[in-house]
Structure 1
Amino acid sequence: IGAGFVPSILNTDLYDEIIQVNTEESFDYARRAAKEEGILGGISSGGAIAAAVKVAEKLGKGKKVLAIIPSNGERYLSTPLYNFE
């Protein structure tokens, strides 16, 4: 989720890394969260979960990773995000 460029006012001291997640991964994780966990989030929520999974895989067993769900999925109920079989 981004505009495809780095804004000149971005303070890169505020974060450690950027984890790229594509649209398909974002959709997949948003759908899984809804189906498997009852968490109705939007596309950005799916992206946050996908990034958290990537971090967890990198850190290995026994580590904890937190993902903040930044969007509500209610506005996506009539979109392709939640029109699945």
Structure 2
Amino acid sequence: MSEIRYFFNNPVVEKVREEDREEGRVEARSEITLEDLEWRGISVSDAVRERVLSRADPEQLKTWSERAVQVVRAEDLFAGDGA
């Protein structure tokens, strides 16, 4: 009997799935960072929201999410980032 290779077992499809998973993790980290600020009663401007949501670097988002539980102002997330 011959092996049946389904579309979902295709290496290209697997790569796309992993990229989608990573994108989902980045998006979730961004949203959690903003939610942490809002739960703490810190207002988040549209500029801060846009900057956080548009970031794709997981390491930068990790740094910002760690800062989100310590900062006094939402803009303080970006302190020391050089931009």
Superposition TM-score tier, normalisation by shorter sequence: under 0.3
Larger radius of gyration: 2
TM-score scaled by length of structure 1: 0.27
TM-score scaled by length of structure 2: 0.28
**Greater fraction helix:** 2
